[in-house]
C-alpha cells in the first residue's frame, strides 16, 4: 500500500499545484491524506479547498483551520503577541473569501485519520494525537516528551505536520513521520514538501520529497486580491520587519 502525505498548505495554491503534479507522476497511490493547516495564509483559500475536493483527498483539521472558523484568534495570537494585529486582519479577510459552506466544511474536519495497512495502522494527525498545537515529536524532544504526546494510540506509524521541516523518528511504540509543509518551510526556500509512505508486511518505506514552485504567482495573487500584509507589530524604534504570508 502506498499513501501520499502532505500538510501545512496554508492557502498556497501555486505550491499545492506543484505537489499535486508531482503526486500524479508517482506510481499509483492508494490514498492521499492532508494533515491540516489548509487555508490560513494564502490569497486563494477557496481555490485551494476546491482542489482538495476535486482530488478527493482525505483532510485532517489543523490549528490554523480552527483559527479561521473561530470567532477570534485569541488562542494562537493572544493580546500582546507579536503578530496579533496581523492575524486579526488576516482572519477577517479570510472570512470574506469563504462563504458559510466552506467554513462549515472546515469546522467539520476530523482531528485524525486512521488507516489499516499491511505494516499496521497508520494514524495521521496535524501535530499530535492530543493537540493540534503540540511540538513534541522533533529531534530535540526527549523520549519522555515524545511518548507523552504520541504514545498509547496502538498505531504502528504516526504521520503529522505542524513542524515545517521533514524528519523521521523511531520509537519503541511507533514510527513518527513529520511530512513537513507544502508552504512556509523553515528554511524559507520555495520548495513544497510531501511524503510517500509505502506499507509492506515487512514494515515501512518512507520517501520524503520537495518540489519547486513559483512564489511570484502567490505574491501577485495577494496583491490582486487585496490580502492584508502580514507583518509583526512595531517594535521599539518603529521598524517593521516584513514576513511573507504565503511561503
What confidence score (pLDDT) does residue 234 get?
Answer: 55
CB proximity list for 1: less than 8 A, separation 6 or greater: 30, 117, 118, 198, 199
107-131: per-residue pLDDT in tens? 999 999 999 999 999 999 999 999 9
Mapping DSSP to helix (H, G, I), strand (E, B) and coil, where does residue 29 land?
Answer: coil
Per DSSP bridges, beta strands 58-59 and 122-125 are unpaired
More confident call, 23 vs 232? 23
Task: Decide if 38 contacts 191 (C-beta within 8 A).
Answer: no
Alpha helices, DSSP H, located in 10-165: 13-24, 45-55, 63-69, 84-97, 100-107, 143-150
DSSP 216-230: HHHHHHHHHTTPPP-
Domain boundaries, given as residue ranges, for the chain:
2-224
DSSP 61-87: --HHHHHHHSS--TTTS-TT-TTHHHH
Surface-to-core class of residue 16, CB atoms within 10 Å of its CB (0-12 exposed, 13-18 middle, 19+ buried): buried
Mean pLDDT value of segment 143-159 = 97
In this prediction, residues 83-95 reach a mean pLDDT of 96
For residue 231, the model assigns a pLDDT of 87
* pLDDT at position 238 over 90: no
Reply yes or no on whether the pLDDT at 206 is more than 90: yes
Whole-number average pLDDT of the chain: 93
137 exposure class (CB count in 10 Å sphere: 0-12, 13-18, 19+): buried
Is 0.95 surpassed by the pTM of this model? no
Indicate if the pLDDT at residue 169 is higher than 50. Answer: yes
pLDDT at residue 153 is higher than 90: yes
Look at 23-27, 42-46, 93-97, 233-237 and tell me which has the smallest mean pLDDT: 233-237
Residue 112 · residue 123 · CB < 8 Å: yes
Mean pLDDT calculated for residue range 139-151: 94
pLDDT of residue 182: 98
Q: Give the CATH number of domain 2-224; options: 3.60.21.10, 3.40.50.150, 3.40.50.1360, 3.90.320.10.
A: 3.60.21.10
Residue 234: C-alpha distances to residues 80, 112, 239 (Å): 12, 38, 6
Q: What pLDDT score does 65 carry? A: 97
Tell me the three state secondary structure of residue 241.
Answer: coil
- Of 240 and 39, the structure prediction assigns the larger pLDDT to 39
**What span, in angstroms and rounded, lies between the C-alpha atoms of 132 and 163?**
11
Amino acid at each position: 500500500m502506498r499513501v501520499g502525505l502532505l500538510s501545512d498548505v496554508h492557502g498556497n495554491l501555486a505550491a499545492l499545484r506543484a505537489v499535486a503534479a508531482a503526486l500524479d507522476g508517482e506510481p499509483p497511490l492508494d490514498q492521499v491524506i492532508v494533515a491540516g493547516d489548509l487555508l490560513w495564509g494564502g490569497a486563494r483559500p477557496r481555490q485551494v479547498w476546491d482542489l482538495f475536493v476535486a482530488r478527493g483527498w482525505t483532510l485532517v483539521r489543523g490549528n490554523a483551520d480552527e483559527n479561521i472558523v473561530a470567532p477570534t484568534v485569541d488562542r494562537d495570537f493572544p493580546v500582546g503577541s507579536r503578530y496579533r494585529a496581523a492575524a486579526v486582519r488576516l482572519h477577517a479577510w479570510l472570512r470574506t473569501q469563504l462563504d458559510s459552506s466552506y467554513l462549515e466544511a472546515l469546522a467539520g474536519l476530523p482531528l485524525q485519520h486512521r488507516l489499516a495497512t499491511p505494516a499496521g495502522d497508520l494514524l495521521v494527525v496535524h501535530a499530535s494525537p492530543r493537540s493540534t498545537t503540540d511540538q513534541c515529536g522533533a529531534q530535540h524532544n526527549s523520549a519522555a516528551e515524545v511518548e507523552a504526546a504520541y504514545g498509547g494510540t496502538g498505531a504502528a506509524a504516526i504521520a503529522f505536520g505542524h513542524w515545517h521541516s521533514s524528519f523521521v523518528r523511531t520509537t519503541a511504540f511507533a514510527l513518527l513521520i513529520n511530512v513537513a509543509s507544502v508552504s512556509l518551510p523553515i528554511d524559507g526556500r520555495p520548495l513544497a514538501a510531501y511524503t510517500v509512505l509505502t506499507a509492506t508486511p515487512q514494515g515501512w518505506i518512507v520517501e520524503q520529497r520537495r518540489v519547486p514552485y513559483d512564489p511570484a504567482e502567490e505574491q501577485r495573487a495577494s496583491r490582486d486580491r487585496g490580502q492584508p500584509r502580514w507583518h509583526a507589530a512595531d517594535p521599539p524604534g518603529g521598524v517593521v520587519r516584513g514576513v511573507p504570508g504565503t511561503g
